[in-house]
Homo-oligomer: A and B are copies of this chain.
């Protein structure tokens, strides 16, 4: 990372205050049972693209955002091209997002330093000309690769070493979003949880009969189905075989005349949770949630729903579908929030799983591997695993 390289003259070798450190009494409001090991499903995948804003949100003013706890400032240069810098002026650490755009550059509100899309300092007011060019490198703000695609601003979570550098990987491309015959809706929601918990929730089948009783699925009818789990280098997918058409309200809207259900739950690195339903021959329903780890315990979800139905035109179904989807998500949001509160209160997760927690552990292993940078194209696919469950 291209951090300021010049020595900061405020820095010194003198040890900290001779006065004793305040032994601030921690709020030990938790008596952790011995079994809690403090594990947390937080993976910080820095070699990855995440959505940080919708394109239409980024106008003429600089816009603050956050990615994995890093404050970023987004802005557009003179040609409208989006840039992302660490939201901290290299000079005196004022947030750049409080500044303004001058001549296509981001100007700090404190002393007026101007930075370009690559974080390079192009102007220091009051500084005489010979000193201006002296240390451009040391005055650079960390900048991040940016790509606009599908109406979203994607940022790569590692700052560039050299201006203009771009990673080899590309952001995820939403399928069917612009496809003919498909209707697409976009929504942004928030989960007060780790990204892993939000993804596991989005791809979990058994909770739907409880938490979303009557909305999405109803209580178990004792029908045995099979989940066929396939692992890839950057993904894991469960296909549910033998699933009857759910009797819930959503199902009735999706496919009034019934038919065979094809159902996939899919995780794609770094943060895509995808649920795909085909009911009968022509109805197709694809919910793709691109998640952004805003902080370790706060996840923003860009949900893109693309669907086509046999009989009913999309514009007719859209007004009914959205409130329903948001209501389902609202129920999940409450659970995710209280789950996170409990985990943090206890100092870590203490999960017990059964075989019908089909995808959670695979997702976690992929995320951990991605965090270590251990994802390679050569990764062999695991053999398919088959799990029975009752619905």
Contacts from A to B (Cβ < 8 Å):
1, 3-4, 6, 8-12, 14, 17-44, 46, 67-71, 86-88, 90-95, 98, 109-112, 124-128, 131, 135, 138-139, 142, 159, 205-207, 209-211, 220, 224, 295-298, 335, 338-339, 341-356, 360-361, 364-365, 368, 371-372, 388-391
10 A-B Cβ contacts within 8 A? A1-B35, A10-B349, A10-B353, A12-B368, A29-B296, A90-B350, A95-B341, A109-B210, A110-B207, A126-B205
Closest Cβ of chain B to A92, distance in Å, is 6
Whether the Cβ atoms of B94 and A335 lie closer than 8 Å is yes
Contact B128 A388 (CB under 8 A): yes
Candidates B17, B131, B138, B346; contact of A93 at CB < 8 Å: B346
Q: Given A10-B351, A91-B351, list of 4 further CB < 8 A pairs?
A: A4-B35, A25-B347, A94-B339, A111-B211
- Tell whether, in the assembled complex, residue B40 and residue A339 are in contact, meaning their CB atoms are under 8 Å apart: no
Asked if A348 and B10 sit within 8 Å, CB to CB, the answer is: no
Partner of A371, one of B18, B87, B296: B18
Chain B proximity of A139: nearest CB distance (Å): 5
When chains A and B are docked, how far (Å) is the Cα of A386 from the Cα of B260?
A: 84
A35 cross-chain contacts in B, Cβ below 8 A:
1, 3-4, 142
Measured in the bound complex, the distance between the Cα atoms of B94 and A166 in whole Å is 41
Does the CB pair A33–B142 fall under 8 Å? yes
- Copies of this chain, whole number: 3
Please, which residues of chain B bring their CB within 8 A of the CB of A224? 128
A13 to B352, CA, bound (A): 17
Provide the bound-state CA to CA distance between A211 and B388, in Å: 67
Q: How far is the CB of A196 from chain B (nearest CB, A)?
A: 8
| Majority-rule SS of A interface residues | loop
Partner of A125, one of B9, B206, B297, B298: B206
- Known interface pairs A88-B346, A339-B93. Does A127 touch B390 (Cβ–Cβ under 8 Å)? yes
- 6 nearest A-B pairs in the assembled complex, by CB-CB distance: A3-B35, A23-B347, A126-B206, A29-B295, A112-B210, A31-B69
Residues from chain B with a CB closer than 8 A to the CB of A91 are 351-354
A66, closest chain B residue (CB): B29
* A27 and B343 alpha carbons, distance in the complex (Å): 12
The CA-CA distance from A81 to B109 in the complex, in Å, is 47
- Contact between A342 and B19, CB atoms less than 8 A apart: no
Q: Whose C-beta in chain B lies nearest to the C-beta of A210? A: B112
Give A83 to B3 CA distance when docked, in angstroms: 50
Highest count of chain B CB atoms <10 Å: which of A139, A211, A346: A346
Q: Which residues of B contact A88 (CB under 8 A)?
A: 342, 346, 350
Taken together as a complex, chains A and B put the C-alpha atoms of A124 and B390 apart, in Å, by 10
Q: Given contacts A44-B17, A342-B95, is CB(A350)–CB(B69) below 8 Å?
A: no
Given contacts A94-B335, A354-B124, contact A31 B37 (CB under 8 A): no
**Structural contact, B18 and A22, CB atoms closer than 8 A:** no
Q: Which residues of B contact A23 (CB under 8 A)?
A: 32, 36, 38, 347-348
Taking a contact as CB atoms closer than 8 A, the residue among B10, B44, B338 that contacts A31 in the complex is: B44
Q: Whose C-beta in chain B lies nearest to the C-beta of A112?
A: B210
Contact of A353 among B9, B37, B70 (CB under 8 A): B9
